[in-house]
Amino acid sequence: MKRNHHSDGLIHRREILKRGTMAGAGAAIVLNNFSIRDHEDEPVRFSGLAAEYDKYDALGLAELIARRQITPQELLAAVRQRVEALNPKLNAFCHLFFDKAETQIRQGLPAGPFRGVPFALKDLGQYLAGTITSAGSRVWKDAVADSDSTLVARYKQAGLVIFAKTNSPELGLTTTTESVLYGKTHNPWNLDRTSGGSSGGSSAAVAARILPAAHASDGGGSIRIPASCCGLFGFKPTRGRVPMGPAQFEGWNGCSHHHVVTVSVRDSAALLDATVGAEPGSPFFSPPPSRPFLKEVGMNPGKLRIALVAEPYGGTPLDPECRKAASDAARLCESLGHRVEEATLPINNAAMREAFLNLIVVSLARTLDDASKTLGRPVTERDVETVTWAMMQQGRALSSVAYSRAIATCHQVGLTMAKFMQNYDVILSPTLAKPPVPLGVLSLSPESNAAFTKEVTEFGPHTALYNVTGQPSMSVPLSWSNDGLPIGVMFSGRFGEDSLLFRLAAQLEKAKPWAMRKPKI
């Protein structure tokens, strides 16, 4: 994609606090289970502290706008106020461009399901014309897109008002959100802990209720991991369901998938409805749903056969609180009428992880080699973080035969899992092997690369499998640790059966609601 190296109206991180507005006075009505029940004809007016809109999910906000109880301009002002109050504590956003969002509103918004709802894009993999997508790297810190990605265009068509980019670690290469370029993103539940990665800017913003939903992407768990760390619903769709082009049509040989982190299940379903479908040139195709995903929310999932896979593959230690979260979820599923049995996945974990890593490092080497066009010179060790540079060298050194073998291995893992899923509808496991770890532990500029490898492997051993296979997978916020940190539980389904996961997620949301549980920040 051609990019310019200037941007009119962009507000960088250091300028975030320089601009502010105040919303109108009054009080908002409170939603009961995200639906308007009371005072339907009473106008909504937000207080100066914008203290009420965080009681609504995105569809609830869109409903308020449709009823003319609040305007998109008023809502954007309220969000802006909350950004300015909370972002200094969180460091969730790396670019703000409220002026572009205001222009989007003035020019007229499409009559989509999210008309007028503010929204933020992750600073990785998707392009909004006139804004920077840095991928959390100094290499692209000034690179401005000259056109929208297909997914971004679909977000706009749904009526979303895009005002910001959220922080990501460099090229999404770790499971925390920390970078030399933008610093550390803090978890709203405990500011000393990671918000997860690589969509940790989005998860921090949504968990703090700055937004009810934000864009995220997942190459090895990067939707589900931050959702688990921040107490959110994080859904990774089936491979090929959400477009990634046209700048590039795949990430990490099809392992990377894009969607959102949300407070409510129904927002995730409706946002997937708004964005699904193949685009010209895409190398992947997912089975089309039989009906909108939003219609699955509230439908009976039936009596499911659930495989409980609690222990991490390869013998990685499992924190007792994460084990308990999975066990509690299994009992909850049984109470809902599902059949749960312990199982062991029939995969060679070492071979899968080696193949997955080889795909990543070769893709990384190619990406940084192509970056010479942006920089006007080859990328050097001074341009990227320590782990990034080491992985780039590993990718350059890998043979073409080893790379081809990695692709073949991943295909066989997909076949093995497809056969396993003939006996089960869903696999249940802990999303992470530990509660959110302290900031600094998973940084891409560590004191020791070997220590980094150990820590990142032991933190999230379960998630990458479903990137390799392309299966839909979700983290559901069903548990909290004894010291108040969120612990997600992961449910993964058959390839193409996203609908079943949404039915199960909605059932779990009703049985054990989480939306009103908020961090005190």
Provide the annotated active-site residues.
122, 198, 222
Strand ranges across the sheet with 93-96: 11-12, 93-96, 161-166, 118-122
Half-sphere exposure of 265 (CA within 13 A, CB side): 30
Please give the radius of gyration of the chain, using alpha carbons only, rounded to the nearest integer. 21
Tokens 């490898």, located at residue: 453
How many helices (H) does the chain have, and how many strands (E)? 15, 18
Token duo for residue 425: 């509808």
DSSP state of 439: T
Residue 74: what residue type? E
The two beta strands, 161-166 and 11-12, are unpaired
Q: Which of 358, 474, 392, 351 has the alpha carbon at shortest distance from 171?
A: 392
Cα 36 to Cα 29, 32, 265, 329: the distances in Å are 8, 7, 17, 30
d(CA 38, CA 56): 14
Quick count: other Cβ atoms within 10 Å of Cβ 175?
27
Token duo for residue 143: 């690179």
Is the separation of the CB atoms in 279 and 240 below 8 Å?
no
d(CA 279, CA 268): 21
Cα 423 to Cα 81, 94, 501: the distances in Å are 51, 45, 16
Token duo for residue 359: 């795909």
SS3 94: strand
d(CA 299, CA 292): 12
d(CA 382, CA 138): 9
Quick count: other Cβ atoms within 10 Å of Cβ 272?
22
Beta bridge partner(s), residue 100: none
* Phi/psi at 216 (5° precision): -150, 165
d(CA 133, CA 278): 23
DSSP state of 91: -
3-class SS string, 345-401: CCCCHHHHHHHHHHHHHHHHHHHHHHCHHHHCCCCCCCCCCHHHHHHHHHHHHCCHH
Cα 446 to Cα 360, 390, 453, 455: the distances in Å are 19, 12, 10, 11
